[in-house]
Structure 1
Amino acid sequence: MNGAVQAGYAPPTGPDRPAPGRRWLRWLLAATVAWAVLLAVLTWVSVRDDPPTVREQRNLAEAGPVVDRAVGELLAAAGDGGAARLVPDALRRGCRITPFADGATLTRGVEVLLADDDVRGLLQRVADRLPAEWRAGVRVTGEGPVLRADAGEFVAVQGRSAGPGRVRLTADTGCRPIGAGYRAPTAGGGSEAETATELLRRFGGAEGPVQVSAAPCPDGTTARTATAVSAPSRPDRPSLPGTLSQFSDGALHVSATDELYAYRSSSTVVAERADGRVRLTVSTVCRR
């Protein structure tokens, strides 16, 4: 039986000859570790050097200034198309970024009141004046003309009718991680709040504090809109045109009814009746 191997008996591998299966496992473990290290290095380099490729890579604190600048561009593009003003920002929490993470959506906007109802004409003028890299365009849909543009950093811009003689232009972040949160631009300086308070005294005075919104203009100035709401109307119900016309001599009148009075001079003033109150805004807008 020289050199014969007994049936059912495996020859020893020896101390310096690891089993083939064990050698394969060692190679697999080494390759897995190397791959994990390579992925970590590539991820670090990408986060440091590459621009974001999805919306979720920019939190609300980072996207907020992009929205603010976009609103300033919209205001400058629409400022001479009627009576333009900033609308209060809307921060909606509770959207889902992943099944395990909540986020928030920031929307800021501009409302333009038109002397006519040429919504498409205004939207097209705005689209033509926006930065070329935004690729702004206007399409007619089943809901009427709609402006769409991309302000960068995954901030979407839209414009559409908001009712007869009204256009709403918005910049929207979509759902984002909150991060440090959104901080609105400082509205310091300006006389808009004082003017709004003074004008509203003719209708019984403001009920509650005046709210001021601000946005940076493309030329480096700051746009502001002060909003004040009166107490319920007095029994004599002062007329909007009769009360405000003395302040609008030489201004461009956009509307002059007892439900809506709007004009544009060095400032844009809009007064409208709603629920027995007068809501009045005074705005300094961006100039193109």
Structure 2
Amino acid sequence: MSAVQPGYAPPSRPDQQATGRHRQRWLVVVTVVWAVLLAGLTWWSVRHDPPTVKEQRSLDRAGPVVDRAIGELSAAIGAAGVPALLPDRLARDCRVTPLERGADLERGIEVAIAGDDARAVLRQVADRLPARWRAGVSTYDGEPLLRADAGDFVAVEGRPGGPGRVLLTAATGCRPLGAGYRPPAADAAAESAALARVLDRWGGATGAVQVLTAPCPGGGTARTARGEAAAPADERLGPAFGAGAAPVVDSVDRYAREGDPAVLAERAGERVRVAVTTGCRS
């Protein structure tokens, strides 16, 4: 037996070297197979598994959910007040992750109500929303707050929006932009014509008219035409709308009445903002 000199590893026998190379080859093969399998599973998941978190559902997928939620809210309002669709708000400065920017879409409905009992109106709306939304009204900072889940991580809220007003919203939260948000096709010829007749009483529209729509749960669409005109500060708003249903609100600065279409007007400085709306029927 030969002595092993201190500080040196004993030489490997030829059979040991072959075994080591064989093990390394198998490790390489196993690693390659695992990488291919992982890539295949990732490809399958991306194409077949539904997204499981909000950050995976881009705005082009979440936008239609918001539109349908606004339609559901329109139908749920019923006779609780006079509704008008609000322009959508699209914020592009949010971050999905620290490295990825996204966008946040919010759509809403303002509702003029008789009196100031916003909690009762919110409860009526919550009771008429789909059961799967799990809608409820609680108290937050001393005020009533409606919360519901429209699905696909779209949050629905309702709260007082000032005296005699309730604000209902549906929002995506921050999402990857994807192909972006495309509002529903806007066709509100009757509402636009009624708006024009009112604004002509004050010299016509002073800016562009906005047309907003949302799909109704039972078919059809909710439609709002919005515009503004100059009006004398001491002139009541009601006479400009002629005869019709009894107004829900009738003051120097605000006017709202139900109908087909419904009308909502509010003074803002030297101008009057008017919304003419046909809502969804429950």
On whether the aligned pair clears a TM of 0.5, the verdict is: yes
Q: Which residue of the partner structure matches residue 116 of structure 2?
A: 117
CA-to-aligned-CA distance 1:204-231 (integer Å, 9 cap, x gap): 2111221110000011111111001113
Could you tell me how far apart the structure 1 residues matched to 2:240 and 2:84 are? 21
Q: How far did residue 146 of structure 1 move?
A: 0.7
Q: How far did residue 200 of structure 1 move?
A: 1.0
Q: Which residue of the partner structure matches residue 144 of structure 1?
A: 143
Could you tell me how far apart the structure 2 residues matched to 1:278 and 1:6 are? 102
Q: Which residue of the partner structure matches residue 11 of structure 2?
A: 11
Could you tell me how far apart the structure 2 residues matched to 1:52 and 1:175 are? 15
CA-atom RMSD, angstroms?
2.0
Could you tell me how far apart the structure 2 residues matched to 1:33 and 1:247 are? 79
Determine if contact 2:96/2:174 at 8 Å carries over to the other structure: yes
2:281 counterpart of 1:287: yes
Seen in structure 2, the aligned counterparts of structure 1 residues 9 and 97 have a Cα distance that, compared at 3 Å, is closer
2:52 counterpart of 1:53: yes
Q: Which runs of 5+ in 2 are unaligned?
A: none
Could you tell me how far apart the structure 2 residues matched to 1:210 and 1:129 are? 31
Could you tell me how far apart the structure 2 residues matched to 1:9 and 1:157 are? 72
2:38 counterpart of 1:39: yes
Equivalent residues in 2 for 1:1-288 (5 A)?
3-7=1-5, 8=8, 10-14=10-14, 17-18=17-18, 20=20, 25-231=24-230, 233-234=231-232, 237-244=234-241, 246-248=242-244, 251-288=245-282
Determine if contact 2:235/2:252 at 8 Å carries over to the other structure: no
Could you tell me how far apart the structure 2 residues matched to 1:128 and 1:46 are? 38
Between Structure 1 and Structure 2, how many residues are aligned? 280
> TM-score normalised to the size of structure 2?
0.92
> TM-score normalised to the size of structure 1?
0.90
Determine if contact 1:203/1:238 at 8 Å carries over to the other structure: no
Could you tell me how far apart the structure 2 residues matched to 1:148 and 1:79 are? 18
CA-to-aligned-CA distance 1:55-111 (integer Å, 9 cap, x gap): 111111111100000000001001321101101100000111122211000000111
Could you tell me how far apart the structure 2 residues matched to 1:261 and 1:138 are? 28
Seen in structure 2, the aligned counterparts of structure 1 residues 31 and 276 have a Cα distance that, compared at 3 Å, is same
Counterpart code for 2:265: A
Could you tell me how far apart the structure 1 residues matched to 2:168 and 2:221 are? 18
